[in-house]
Every structure is written in C-alpha cells, then in structure tokens.
Amino acid sequence: MKTFLMLAILLLSLGCSEEQQNKISRFGVSWLEGDYKVTFFEGSYKKEWTVLDGKVTSDPQKGYYYFWVDVAGKQRYVQAPISRTVIEEL
C-alpha cells in the first residue's frame, strides 16, 4: 500500500509544474498571519515573544513553530517546540 501511494505521488508530481510541486511539498506546513503572543514553557521557565504583523509557521512533522521577532532592534529567527508553546492572537 505504501509503495502504491509513493508511486502515485511520484507520477502526479511528474506532471506538475515546479510551483505545484512546491505547494504539494508544503501541504503539511501551515501558518498564521497577524499579531500574536508566542509563549514557550519549560518547567518554571517562560519566554514570550510578540509577533506583530508577521507570520508564525508550523511544521507538525518536525515539531516546531517558526517565526521572526524584533529583539533589541534586530530581527531574530525563532524555532519553538510545538509541544511546549502557546500562541495567542492579540
């Protein structure tokens, strides 16, 4: 069954444009756009970031949220584990 599924995906991808193949490969990836407070918890440790007019991307297969935040005037890329992170809309 797995072999059939992989073969079907391969055959379908051969007839797709590069843009369509990219969309298929990102099927498991989702994102939120807007203003959010992202909070990471590890025991008693708590770290918060504010994402303003930005995007929080999740990839459940890898188990992380990804986003950019402004820290002391510099843009920083953050990866936070989904299992210990809470996202709230502002």
Q: For 6-63, what is each residue's pLDDT tens digit?
A: 545 554 555 656 665 555 555 554 667 788 899 999 999 999 999 988 888 888 888 8
Q: What is the pLDDT of residue 61?
A: 81
Regarding predicted confidence, which is higher, 20 or 77? 77
Max Cα separation, the chain? 52
Residue found by looking up tokens 């498991």 in the block? 28
Checking if the pLDDT of 81 tops 90, the result is yes
What is residue 66's predicted lDDT score, i.e. its pLDDT? 92
Extract the tokens encoding 50: 């504010």
Q: What is the pLDDT of residue 44?
A: 94
Residue 60: its pLDDT value, please?
80
Which distant-in-sequence residues (6+ apart) come within 8 Å of 27 by Cβ? Answer: none
Residue found under tokens 């055959």:
11
Residues 6+ apart with CB under 8 A from 49: 37, 38, 39, 67, 69, 78
